[in-house]
Amino acid sequence: MKSFLRSFLASFLALMVLVLVAVGLLAMKFGGDTEIKDHSWLHLDLYGDVLEYDPPGGVMAQATGSGGSLTLQKILENLDKAAVDERIDGVLLQMSSSHNAGWGKMEEIRGAVARVQKAGKPVIGFADAIDARTYYLAAVCDSLYCPPAGYIMFTGFSRTSKHIKGTLEKLGIAPQVSAIRHYKAAAQLVTRVDLSPEAKKNMNWMMDEFWDMFCDALQKDRGFSEERVNELMEHALFTPKEAVAAGMFDGLKYWDEIKDQFKPEGEDQLAVVSHERYADEDPEDLDLKGDKTIAIVHAQGNIGGRENGVNPLLGLMMGHESIVRELNRAANDDDVAAIVLRVDSGGGESLGSDLMGHAVHMVSQKKPVIVSMVDVAASGGYMMAYRAPLIMANPMTVTGSIGSISAKFDMSGWYEKIGVTTDHVSKGPNALMWSDDQPFTEEEFERFNENHWTDFRNWMNDVAAFRDIATTDIDSLCMGRVWTGRQAMGNKLVDELGGQYEAVLLAKKEAGIAVNESVTLWHLPESKDLIESVLGGEEGVDQALSWTVYRSVRNEVRFTADYLGDGKLWVVDPIFRP
């Protein structure tokens, strides 16, 4: 009874905290003057977590942690609204290296900024802390400023692989891994003390691709040749004055000075519209909706389990039943003309990936389906995508990784060290095959490995069939190899290059909709607002709590490690650290 009361009180208190947060946010949302004036400027602040879409738990999950409610979807939508909104004169793009947007997301934001500029509206950049990856976005701004005490780190690209094989050996834990194959670097974290030559080769050709696209962008945006980029990276750390002298920035200004510079003549201050406030503007009021609908199904996170959720240790989890349900919902809706499936996942459970891939194939028999890859759509992320009739990736998307890892960990050495003993009663062959207190026998491992390879070859041959790749060529594209979107298009793993904007244009074409006709974008799963999140029951509250715990712990650990490491906060990119 006491245990029940403690559990009940803890849940009740957690719910009350979230309710109070939601009430406070609602008060801020609806309080005060919310009118958007003429000659306003949209303010976007790239900082903290930048997910592709709202996490499970709705807006409350985003709003109850650091970083606010910034998602790639809201950034893209706000920029596209600003491009046509007569009340908006320009965009103030504030940036910091303390964000987790990958190269693919940065490419899509660059594209949306270009559409604002094409509409004749300036985009002014301001960066208080910048690294090479963030500079890739900053360089596209019409003007770029930095405060006099800003941090500027402009170094080359690298990737560090930390291996725990030695640690496991000290603990008495023996991984028994079937990895397909030498390019599948994730398995090597526990099987080797370094990367295989094949994995290093893969990383090098990926890095060459990122480097080429990075240099091409800086040549176009700032007039920097590759030689000039190398010269700047030789210097590595810049004071803001040095960065201005080098042509990296256009001047030194504090944030308030930038706002003063662009205020209309005769006005006391610049009318600035926050990202959160502008997200409430209905695209329909700006003629950005149409009679026909394109559904955009968002699939983000690690693949595992049945329902979308949040694991306090692993973060966002993509459940196959959640994605299949939304795909079928869109396919069975008479108002939906086409479907865009947004994939942002490094993979996970093969069964769930295959079930989602099968649903993609079945739905594509009813309506046009376009897969749109974001930062990463690799391993299970590619498995769920390859059966779509058309696949689009950002040039810097990480995709492929058509390989597989299956393993069991023999914990007997660890159990012996800590004094744990086991005993068994069993009946029937191989009853103890998966027991963690003993290794596979030779026969068991042979059967395990054989079964793993059979499953993999079925997948590899299926990719060849759906992607119209000769079976003699498919092996050279698989075995865990990873590709950029640009490389993947060259070897037929994807069909087109572009982000969501281009994917929608392609979906319109496939559905017979005129390219200049406005369409309504229906985002699935439908994101819950603050009231729906609070009143949506225990599940919504649990997801919001889980996301908040995961993000808070991860951010604090990362901040502490980075701060103690060099006295400044630099976020490490999951692919490369520039």
Task: Give the pLDDT score at 314.
Answer: 84
What does the radius of gyration of the chain's CA atoms come to, in whole angstroms?
A: 25
Clarify whether residues 348 and 390 are in a common domain.
yes
What DSSP assignment string belongs to 474-504?
HGGG-TT-EEEHHHHHHTTS-SEE--HHHHH
pLDDT of residue 546: 62
Same domain, 542 and 556: yes
Q: What share of the chain is helix, strand, coil (3-state, %, to 5)?
A: 45, 20, 35
Same domain, 42 and 125: yes
207: in domain:
no
Residues 56 and 146 in one domain: yes
Please list, in sequence order, all residues whose beta carbon lies within 8 angstroms of the beta carbon of residue 172, skipping any fewer than 6 positions away. 411, 412, 413, 414, 415, 416, 417
pLDDT of 313? 81
| 195 is a domain residue | yes
Q: Are residues 115 and 145 in the same domain?
A: yes
Which amino acid would we find at residue 499? Answer: G
- Cα(400)–Cα(344) distance, integer angstroms: 13
7 domain-assigned: no
340 within some domain? yes
What integer pLDDT is reported at residue 49 of this predicted model?
87
192, 318: one domain? no
Print the SS3 string covering 188-253. Answer: HHHHCCCCCHHHHHHHHHHHHHHHHHHHHHHHHHHCCCHHHHHHHHHHCEECHHHHHHCCCCCEEC
Q: How many CB atoms are closer than 10 A to CB 379? A: 26
Q: Is residue 387 part of a domain?
A: yes
DSSP 69-127: T-BHHHHHHHHHHHHH-TTEEEEEEEEEEEE---HHHHHHHHHHHHHHHHTT--EEEEE
The CATH number given to whatever domain includes residue 174 is: 3.40.1750.10
With a threshold of 0.95, does the pTM exceed it?
Answer: no
16 belongs to a structural domain: no
Q: Is residue 499 part of a domain?
A: yes
Whether 333 and 366 map to the same domain: the answer is yes
DSSP 246-278: TTS-SEE--HHHHHHHTSPTT-SS--EEEHHHH
Beta bridge partner(s), residue 399: 377, 483
In one letter, which amino acid is 553?
A: V
Residue 209, domain member (yes or no)? no
Q: Is-contact 299 343, C-beta < 8 A?
A: yes
197 and 328 assigned to the same domain:
no
Residue 463: the pLDDT is: 98
Q: Are residues 448 and 491 part of one domain?
A: no
Q: Do 294 and 387 lie in a common domain?
A: yes
**Encoded amino acid at 237, one letter:** L
**Peptide bond connecting 181 to the previous residue in cis, omega within 30 degrees of 0:** yes
What is the DSSP annotation of 344-392?
A: EE--B-HHHHHHHHHHHHHHTTTS-EEEEEEEEEETHHHHTTTTSSEEE
Contact (CB, 8 A) for 577 and 50: no
Are 457 and 317 part of one and the same domain?
Answer: no
Q: Which domain holds residue 50?
A: 35-155+236-288+537-571
Domain count across the chain: 3
**Residue 366 maps to which CATH number?**
3.90.226.10
CA distances (Å), origin 323, targets 299, 305, 346, 353, 521: 7, 11, 16, 10, 17
DSSP secondary structure letters along 316-331:
EEE-HHHHHHHHHHHH
Instruction: Verify that 252 and 373 share a domain, yes or no.
Output: no
Amino acid at 255: W
Print pLDDT tens along the chain (578 aa): 545 445 544 455 555 555 555 545 444 444 444 789 999 999 999 998 899 999 986 555 555 444 446 899 999 999 999 999 999 999 999 999 999 999 999 999 999 999 999 999 999 999 999 999 999 999 999 999 999 999 999 999 998 999 999 999 999 999 999 999 889 999 999 999 999 999 999 999 999 999 999 999 999 999 999 999 999 999 999 999 999 999 999 999 999 999 999 988 888 899 999 999 999 999 999 999 999 999 999 999 999 999 999 888 888 999 999 999 999 999 999 999 999 999 999 999 999 999 999 999 999 999 999 999 999 999 999 999 999 999 999 999 999 999 999 999 999 999 999 999 999 999 999 999 999 999 999 999 999 999 999 999 999 999 999 999 999 999 999 999 999 999 999 999 999 999 999 999 999 999 999 999 999 999 999 986 655 555 555 455 566 666 556 555 555 555 454 444 443 333 323 333 33
Quote the DSSP letter at residue 300. E
